[in-house]
Structures are given as C-alpha cells and as structure tokens.
Chains A and B, each alone.
Chain A
Amino acid sequence: MIRLDGVTVTYRDRAALRDVTFHVEPGERVAVIGPNGAGKSTLLRVVAGLLRPVTGTVELTGERIERLDRMAIAQRLAVVPQLPTLPFATAVEEVVALGRLPHEHPLRGLRPADRAAIAAAIDRVGVGHLLGRDARELSLGERQLVLLAMAVAQRAPILILDEPTVHLDLRHQVEVMELVGDLNARDGTTILAVLHDLGLAAHFFPRLVLLDHGRVVADGPPSEVLSPERIREVFGVDPEFVRLRA
C-alpha cells in the first residue's frame, strides 16, 4: 500500500530522513513514533507527496508517487490536517464537504454520491450534533473530529494522521483513537499515524515504527519496539515512566 525504499530527505544540508525503508500493507495500522526532530512529520510529507526524497523511492498503491498528480494522490490517501485555522466562518458540514474535492465534478461541484459520502462520514464520526455551527467556534476536540470526518468523506484507502491527539484531553484522545481503530478494523482503511504519546501508540497500534535522527531504529509490535533500553536510549527518560502511562 505504502512502500518507502531507501528514502533520504535533506533540508538544506541537514538530513531529515536517512535511508528510510518500510512497507505498509493494505489494512495495516501503523504508528510512527520518535522524539522531536526525529523526522516523523517529514516522513508523512514524503508519503503524502509534498516532499520529494533526494534518493530512494516512494510508492502508493503500487505506483511511483512522482507519476501521480495531486488529484490521484488525494484519491488514494486522505490526510487529517493539524487543526488549521479558517479565514472565514465555515459551517461544520462545509468543512466535511471539502473532503469531496478530489471527487467532485470540477464545474458542477457536489453530486448526489458526494452528498451521500458527506452524510455517511458525518454519521460515522458522530458529528451530527455539530452541524450548522461555525467550525471556528468548536472546541479543539470537536474540531479534530470534524477534520477526521472530512478525511473520512474523502473515502481514500489510506488515512494519514499527524499528531491527531495533540491538543485533546484524555477522553477525546481515546475517542479519536477508537474511531481510527474502528475505521481500520471495520472499513479496512490503512492507517499511518504520527503519535507523540507512546502510551496511546502502544495501546491502539499493533505495529510501531520508531524514528530517531531520521533513521528507522525499530519496527514491530509495541512490546518489541518499546523495550526499556530503547526508551532510555532514544527518548532519554526512565522506561518506568512510559510503562506507567501505557
């Protein structure tokens, strides 16, 4: 579904990703973890086609990403953005409807199938009670759910999340994670998420990819990846602290 082979990305002279290789199979649920500056967000930008690697190849659903235009990428991969600001008052359903941009008719706009997808996404994510409200007035947790609904309306086989729980309280964190898990388990959506919270990652994701200094240092089930030695080495904290959180 997603294949990165020997990907290296440099910002100016600094290597943000070094020789990164990992494959995500259809229906997998993978969390990318690592300390600040490890290259997690860069990795997502590479997968989403916003950054071109200096060396190495990226494939989405079997095709080289540089052969796909933005529309083709958007039909394969939906991204939940990090709480963007809206310049104008925008009703919740209008935000969700943006998820249909890659599918809607370029001139006529939304068609019945698009409206059905929007209604289904609103239902699926459970944001029906927010309809009609200005998305800018919502709480951060509510906004995160609306953005998730937008990505669900996009109906792409791959869903990418960049720190989806970062501003949320515990209840919303769990709510978002359960929803993501459900999208994966019930709909078969392939999930690739960047997470800061090791506890959430370990609890909700069967496979973790640990990045440090732009390299993949571990890739596997949480029990293997989050070994006490590695937590101490990569994150520089007492492993007991992480175990308690998890």
Chain B
Amino acid sequence: MTHGAGIIVPRRGLGLRGAFSRRPVAVAAVGIALLAVALVAGIAAGSVAIAPGDTLGILGRRLLGLDIPRTWPATAETIVMELRLPRVLTAMIVGAGLAVAGAAFQGLLRNPLADPYVLGAASGAALGAAVAVIIPVRTLILEFGLLHVLAFIGALGAVAVVYRLSRVGTSAPMTSLLLTGYAVGSLLAAGLAMAMYLSGSGLRQIFAYLLGGFEASSWMRLAVAAPLIGIASIGILLRARSLNGLLLGEDAAAHLGIDVRRERAILMALASLATAAAVAVSGLIGFVGLVAPHFVRLLVGPNARLVLPLAALLGASLMVGADLAARLLGEIPVGVVTAVIGAPFFLALLRRARSGYEL
C-alpha cells in the first residue's frame, strides 16, 4: 500500500504489512529509533564499558559542543572518540550501503535471492585481498593497505567483467547476467583457493578478511569509504523510479518510460561501487544486504522509493548491532554474527511469509 496510500482501503490485509501499510513514516520512525539505540549501545559497550549517560555526555560535548560537566575519565573520551565512534559509524555506513546495494540488485535482476555479491563482487574482492597478502609489498595509502585497494579493485573488476561478458547475449540479459556472474564467481573462487593454498603464513590474514570485521576502523578510512558509499546509495535512491518500472520486467519498464539499458548500467555501477567500498573497509559480510530489503518489503511493499531508504536504516542498525555482538563475544568475525542471526531470522521470515505473504 505504498503507491496507493491515501486512496484505497484494502479488502484484505497482507500479513505483516497490514499494521504498517499506510504508515511508512511510522516504520521510518521505528528504524531511526532503532539505529539511535544501536549506535549508543555500540559506543557504550565493549571491553571497557562506558555508561550510556557518559557516552551521550561525551558525544554531546565533543560533537555538539555542549557545555556538559565531565564526569568520566579522559581515557573514556579517547575510547569513544578515537575507537568506538569511527567504528560504529563505519558499521552504520557499510550496513546501509550493503542494504541499498542488495535492494538494487534484487530489483535490477528481478531476483529475490540476489544480494550485493551476486555478480561476483565478493569473489573479486576476496581474490584481490588474497593476492595482496601474497605480494610482498606493504604500502599504506590513506590508512588503506594494499589488501583494501586490491579488494576494491577486485570487486569492481569482477562486476565489470561479468557485465561485459553478459552483453554478448541480448535475448535474456538478466538471466545471462546472473549466469555469467555465477560462472565468473566460480572462476575467481578457484583463483582464491589457489592463492590461499600458496599464501602460507598469510592464510589467517586472508581468512580474517573473508569473514569481515570493523576492528580496524578509523576516521581516515571512514572518510574515504563514506563518500563513496554515500554517493552511490544516494544515486541509487534517485533512480527508485527505474527500479519500480523493472518490477514488471524489462519490456514493461521500457513501455513505462524507462530507458532500460542505460538505467540498468547506471544502477549496476552504483550498486557495485557501494558494495566494493563496503567490502574494502570491512571485508565480506553476508546476509545484511539480502535480509534488510526483504524485511522492509514485508512492511511497506515493493515501492523502491520506500524500500531503499528504509532498508538503509535497517541495514545500518543490523550492522551496528552485529558488530556490537561480535565485540562482546570477544572480537569474533562480524560475518559469523550476521550469518548466525541472519539465517534463522530469514528462515522465520520465510515461514511466516508462507501463511499470507510471500517475499
């Protein structure tokens, strides 16, 4: 009930959507509150716990310049400002970016199973990272190592190759894209396996990257990644109309005024950019990009104008929460947390969906 809000009273509720159907604003408000709680909790909790009141005090004092009397030790301020704040903000941006990219790929490929990595970005990034570990060169650009740079290039490169190769077949471009993505992904995975085999002592480092995490976040890294993810996500948001048109397929989208070929190329480039920037800073974190858009669609329907921003909110909250859980469990990889939370959650969603509403 998104496009039609305000004109129609539904005869029959659509499962979960019933309660929220006419109130995307309510969903947004809940999402913002959820994110705020996750952010404060993410900053307050950790190996050194800082009381939520002190956390808010530090943030108010340092970020907003409020004149709040200091009731906390100086180390708490350092921990919050130099370690936790850049970390939760990175998790927030990455979560939002992956959710938006996931929603975009699902819409573009008209495939509910698509996620940000569907066109080979994950395999490309992983191979890039593994190659970086093997190459005996250590450079640091803007606090990014060769690993991040090659992961970024690998992710973008893989998608570019997939796109290029799939353009040969014109009859069913979407199917062709998916299949090409699968084939190229398999090839890259073979390369990754070989690189890991050859990496010797670097294996652990490759593995840590593959599982993802935010422990190495910093203001500088955030400053590089955030604009890339932000610009790509906003670019996708501005093309919500094209994603809506593609709901009915490519021909129908063209009949509805969408320049399908151009829009598809632009959306794919933007979603891949967001994905590549996200995997470069945080490694491969699954499930958020798959689950967040679906959950939002259950609440507000498939209209991309609503799905994209709300999925960004939810993805951000999920990622901050997952990072917090990972930290509290002794710095286990975030990718493990998102999979452990995400998979059962997704299954529950599917089971519930079967009774009245499908994904």
A contact residues vs B (CB 8 Å cutoff): 48-50, 69-71, 73-75, 77-79, 81, 84-91, 93-102, 104, 106-107, 109-110, 115-116, 118-119, 122, 129-134, 136, 154
Contacts and interface: CB of A to CB of B under 8 A. Distances in A.
B3 A74 contact: no
Describe B's contact surface by its main secondary structure: loop
Interface in B1-19: 1-4, 6-14
Given A119-B7, A134-B358, 12 more contacts: A48-B255, A74-B257, A87-B110, A87-B247, A89-B359, A93-B8, A94-B1, A95-B248, A97-B4, A98-B252, A118-B4, A132-B9
B20 to A, nearest CB: 13
Nearest to A104: B241
B145 interface: no
Contacts of B240: 109
Nearest to A93: B4
Contacts of B9: 131-132
B11 A132 contact: yes
Given A88-B297, A90-B301, A91-B1, A70 B257 contact: yes
A131 B13 CA distance: 10
Contacts of B79: none
Which residue, A48, A129, A132, A154, has most C-beta atoms of chain B within 10 A?
A132
Contact of B8 (A71, A109, A122): A122
Contact of B258 (A70, A89, A134, A154): A70
B317 interface: no
B248 A84 contact: yes
B91 to A, nearest CB: 27
B55 interface: no
A50 B252 CA distance: 11
Contact of A90 (B111, B251, B302): B302
B177 to A, nearest CB: 14
B256 A133 contact: no
A93 B7 contact: yes
Contact of A154 (B3, B238, B256): B256
A132 B5 CA distance: 11
User: What 9 A-B pairs have minimum CB-CB distances, sorted nearest first?
Assistant: A132-B10, A97-B3, A93-B4, A74-B257, A102-B257, A79-B255, A71-B257, A87-B110, A81-B252
B359 A88 contact: yes
B254 interface: yes
Contacts of A48: 254-255
Contacts of A79: 252, 255
A90 B251 CA distance: 18
Contact of A81 (B249, B259, B302): B249
Contact of B248 (A49, A71, A81, A115): A81
7 contacts: A73-B257, A100-B3, A109-B3, A109-B305, A115-B6, A131-B4, A133-B11
Which residue, B8, B238, B249, has most C-beta atoms of chain A within 10 A?
B8
Contact-residue bracket for chain B:
35 or more
B337 to A, nearest CB: 27
B244 A50 contact: no
B235 to A, nearest CB: 13
A101 B245 contact: yes
Contacts of B245: 98, 101
Nearest to A154: B256
Given A90-B247, A90-B302, A132-B12, A98 B254 contact: no
A137 B305 CA distance: 24
A93 B1 CA distance: 7
B247 A74 contact: no
A126 B278 CA distance: 48
A46 to B, nearest CB: 13
B202 interface: no
B303 interface: yes
A124 B2 CA distance: 21
Nearest to A119: B7
Contacts of B111: 87
B7 A115 contact: yes
Contacts of A102: 256-257
A119 B7 CA distance: 7
